[in-house]
Amino acid sequence: MATAVDSYFKISQRGSSVGREVRGGVVTFLTMAYIIVLNPIILAGVPDVEGNFLGGGSEPGSGFATIAACTALIAGLLSIAMGAVANFPLAIAAGLGLNAFVAYSVASQMTWADAMGLVVLEGLVILVLVLTGFRKAVFDAVPTQLKTAIAVGIGLFITFIGLVDAGFVRTSGIPAPPVQLGIGNTLSGWPVLVFCITLLVMFALHARKVPGAILIGIVFGTVLAGIVQALTDTPGGGGDPTSKGWNLNVPSWPDQVFQSPDLGLLGEFNLLGGFDRIGVVAAFLLVFSLLLADFFDTMGTMTAVGAEAGLNDDEGTPPNAQRILIVDSVAAAAGGAAGVSSNTSYIESASGVGDGARTGLASIVTGLLFLLSVFAAPLVQHIPSEAAVPALVLVGFLMMTQVGGIDWNDIEIALPAFLTIALMPFTYSITVGIGAGFVTYVLLKVVRGKAAVLHPLMWIVAALFVVYFAIDPITRWLT
């Protein structure tokens, strides 16, 4: 049995072991588990155009448990599919940013069922683009050094995510500076202390080359948070950027560990309802915005994870790229069909890779833990993010080390690479960073008289990104 598993997943061939894959899968889950809580917070608190809240009920948050269960279910099934079909250490869950776009920009114009119908349609369109080879062709057309810049930019992005989620970096509430260290440029609150101590422990373990440094660090942070909470009784922050409380979950032991899930959102979508509600042009532009974000987020994510794992080829392409893209496309449609917004590949998977994962077995482990959390949502909701997000900072450092692969003396690649790296964290969007890099790369080739060397698909992608960046005035003009 062990030999068959090793052979199927190429565990030994990739220099790994079953133990490392299991450990990496657990680490990835722990750094992603927040989505089980955060996705319902985003989706359950916003009414659709008819005043209804997702998951049922007439009050904000009334559908929280239903959304959480369905979020975990789809993440589990599609992460397992990614591991089994593509044999790649990449996990899947509801896409952050995409869920906010669906909640605030799409559902505000139609019913939740209509909005999820557009998400399903977007996923099906991407699947067609994958099966026709277009999505893979675009990926292959991107210069290798630009792919490296994408990986580095994502490293800085997830570092920023970790620092913000821990309350180490916060909005200042004033134009300059827009962000600051803690509250008033002073670290305040017990949760931030837990984050800092956990991060330093994780750094020390990594420097000592301790196997499982990230997982050990997360477990340490969770125990420390529990002790701190028992002594201080610190409340939750409730989303207040000036709070000194826990950012998302208050560490505690729940009254019950398991509960029967409510999966009532499955199948709650209306495929073409959005077109009837707001018209063909407006609905098409919403689908286009969703599609472009999904299309390039995954490209950047799989490049970065593959690079961190040492799996990419000389052109910066991970193994089984076509299969990765197929599973990811199916995930987009599946998320809409389950009523929990588009699902996509998660850059947090790099944390598992940083702890040793190299194959799809790690993704299967992550998926199984998501499936378990469908029934164990009470337990997952009580693990503080401050104990898990230090992993993102450490992995951000590991991904940043690839910056030496960029020729900073070549202005034609250096400027696009710079914008790609800088704009991902500064705009909180992988898509924006990739788009700015692509458009600038094409522009510089043109102005320096080298347009002929550009791959035809780079012209198409750059033009699409111009439309993406100008989507608001275009929408106003057409509608």
Share of the chain above pLDDT 70, in %: 95
How do beta strands 169-171 and 179-181 pair?
antiparallel
pLDDT tier, 479 (very low <50, low <70, confident <90, very high otherwise): low
pLDDT in tens, 421-476: 999 888 887 778 888 998 999 999 999 999 999 988 889 888 888 888 887 787 77
At 196 the pLDDT is 92
Residue 58: predicted pLDDT: 66
What is the per-residue pLDDT for 239? 66
Under 8 Å CB-to-CB from 365, ≥6 apart: which residues? 21, 22, 24, 25, 26, 29, 83
Distances in whole angstroms, Cα of residue 299 to Cα of each of 156, 189, 338, 381, 432: 17, 38, 24, 30, 13
Task: For the chain, give the mean pLDDT.
Answer: 86
Report the percent of the chain where pLDDT is more than 90.
40
Per-residue pLDDT for 366 more than 90? yes
| pLDDT for residue 354 is more than 80 | yes
- Whose CA is closest to 94, among 124, 77, 74, 115? 74
- Report whether the peptide linkage leading into residue 177 is cis, meaning its omega lies within 30 degrees of zero: yes
Sort residue 147 into left (φ over 0), alpha (ψ -120 to 50) or beta.
Answer: alpha
What band does 365 get if pLDDT is binned at 50, 70 and 90?
very high
Identify the DSSP state of 93: E
Q: What would the mean pLDDT of 363-389 be, rounded to a whole number?
A: 83
| Euclidean distance between CA atoms 146 and 127, whole angstroms | 25
Q: What is the pLDDT of residues 266-325, one digit of tens each?
A: 999 999 999 998 888 778 878 887 887 777 778 888 988 998 889 998 888 899 999 999
pLDDT tens figures, 96-139: 767 877 887 788 889 999 999 999 999 999 999 899 988 888 87
C-alpha span between 183 and 172 (Å, rounded): 8
3-state DSSP: the chain helix, strand, coil percent, rounded to 5? 65, 5, 30
Which amino acid is present at 183?
I
- In the predicted structure, residue 62 carries a pLDDT above the cut 90: no
Residue 226 has a CB neighbour count (10 Å cut-off) of 18
Weakest mean pLDDT among 30-34, 228-232, 328-332: 30-34
Residue-level pLDDT at 429: 78
Among 309, 405, 303, residue whose Cα is nearest residue 351: 309
Q: How confident is the model at residue 25 (pLDDT cuts 50, 70, 90)?
A: very high
**Position 381 pLDDT exceeds 70:** no
- Grade residue 200 by pLDDT with cuts at 50, 70 and 90: very high
